[in-house]
């Protein structure tokens, strides 16, 4: 298992009111989330998973109509029995893509709010109480200290509240979870190998050194794991280079790419540069760049 540097601290999982609703709803009673009706599904077998794709007219090779907003509770245990590597990859990417887009949509909405609030402050206008509360909430959520209306604070928030390209998230999930077949992805919906330091709340890794207390985190759904991963990249000090590269690309008017941003993830693994090369090769070999401009289906 990859030794993630962000495992050195406790994790804070972002929960919005909408997410709490999502966690409590079934497919037949899913809420409207960010203007889009979300369906929560729990296929138990690979056949049921493929039937779900068919039911929602979801073909990963034909995404002009967008990706249906689906949240999958877990990856079927049968995934390990799929012998065809191409089929396994297809199933894995098709399962995770809607949730990566949904989680990034959350961040996009937050970034939009931040831009509006920053403009008000830049024009020397006073924030209303509700606006100040929103800004303070974002500051807390993204672990930024200081005066929330100070330009230094706002600048740091801008570097943190930003999306992670789908191709990079999919590549890391595939690498860390062995295409959804690893023990931790199956038992704990943990796609990215995140740790917890609260004893009894996670899964004890085999071969854990004596005296260590870390455990591998459990997540209620795959979506929770993806949201936590995005927050780690956006807040942890180990990924400051990742955020710097992304900000610089934004300032140059470029769309951040997974291959470029991977260069900032040296601290994600003890394999360092070799890990980065693996991610970049995975993105290129599976043509994951094709998901860069894909959008969620509306209505």
Which carries the bigger pLDDT value, residue 16 or residue 203? 203
State the pLDDT confidence band at 196, using cuts at 50, 70 and 90. Answer: confident
pLDDT at 299 over 70: no
What's the DSSP call for residue 296?
B
State the pLDDT at residue 12.
31
- Supply angle C-alpha 211, 215, 221, rounded to 5: 175
Q: What is the three-class DSSP state of 180?
A: coil
Give the DSSP H/E element, type plus range, for residue 195: strand 195-196
**Cα 261 from Cα 168, distance rounded (Å):** 8
Cβ pair 167, 288 in contact under 8 A: yes
pLDDT exceeds cutoff 60 at 21: no
Tell me the C-alpha distance between 222 and 178, whole Å. 15
pLDDT at 27 (0 to 100): 39
**Among 189, 187, 191, residue whose Cα is nearest residue 204:** 187
* Inter-residue contact 231 to 14 (CB < 8 Å): yes
Section 162-170 average pLDDT? 98
pLDDT at residue 35 is higher than 90: no
Question: In the prediction, which pLDDT does 3 show?
Answer: 42
- pLDDT tens digits for range 64-75: 989 999 999 999
For domain 5-291, the CATH architecture is Orthogonal Bundle (1.10)
C-alpha–C-alpha distance, residues 198 and 66, integer Å? 40
Has residue 210 got a pLDDT over 60?
Answer: yes
Residue where the block lists tokens 């591998």: 216
CB 206 within 8 A of CB 195: no
Tell whether the model's pLDDT for residue 205 goes beyond 90: no
When pLDDT is averaged across residues 200-224 and rounded to a whole number, the result is 85
Mean pLDDT of the chain: 88
pLDDT of residue 17: 31
Domain map of the chain by residue range?
5-291
| pLDDT of res. 24 | 33
The pTM assigned to this predicted structure is 0.87
């Amino acid at each position: 298992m990859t030794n993630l540097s962000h495992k050195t601290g406790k994790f804070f999982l972002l929960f919005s009111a909408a997410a709490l609703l999502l966690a409590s709803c079934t497919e037949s009673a899913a809420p409207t989330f960010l203007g889009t009706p979300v369906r929560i599904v729990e296929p138990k077998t690979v056949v049921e998973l493929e039937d779900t794709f068919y039911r929602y007219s979801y073909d990963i090779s034909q995404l002009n109509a967008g990706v249906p907003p689906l949240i999958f509770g877990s990856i079927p245990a049968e995934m390990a029995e799929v012998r065809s590597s191409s089929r396994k990859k297809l199933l894995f990417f098709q399962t995770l893509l809607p949730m990566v887009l949904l989680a990034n949509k959350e961040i996009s909405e937050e970034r939009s709010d931040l831009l509006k609030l920053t403009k008000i402050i830049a024009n020397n206008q006073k924030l209303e109480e509700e606006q100040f509360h929103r800004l303070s909430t974002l500051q807390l959520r993204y672990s930024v200290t200081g005066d929330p209306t100070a330009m230094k604070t706002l600048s740091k928030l801008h570097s943190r509240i930003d999306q992670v390209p789908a191709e990079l998230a999919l590549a890391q999930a595939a690498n860390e979870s062995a295409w959804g077949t690893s023990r931790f992805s199956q038992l704990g919906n943990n796609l990215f190998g995140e740790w917890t330091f609260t004893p009894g709340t996670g899964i004890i890794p085999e071969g854990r050194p004596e005296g260590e207390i870390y455990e591998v985190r459990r997540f209620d759904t795959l979506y929770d794991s993806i949201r936590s991963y995005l927050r780690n990249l956006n807040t942890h000090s180990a990924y400051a280079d990742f955020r710097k590269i992304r900000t610089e690309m934004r300032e140059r008017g470029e769309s951040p790419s997974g291959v470029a941003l991977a260069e900032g993830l040296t601290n994600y693994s003890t394999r360092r540069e070799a890990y980065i090369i693996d991610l970049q090769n995975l993105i290129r070999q599976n043509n994951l760049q094709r998901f860069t401009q894909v959008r969620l289906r509306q209505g």
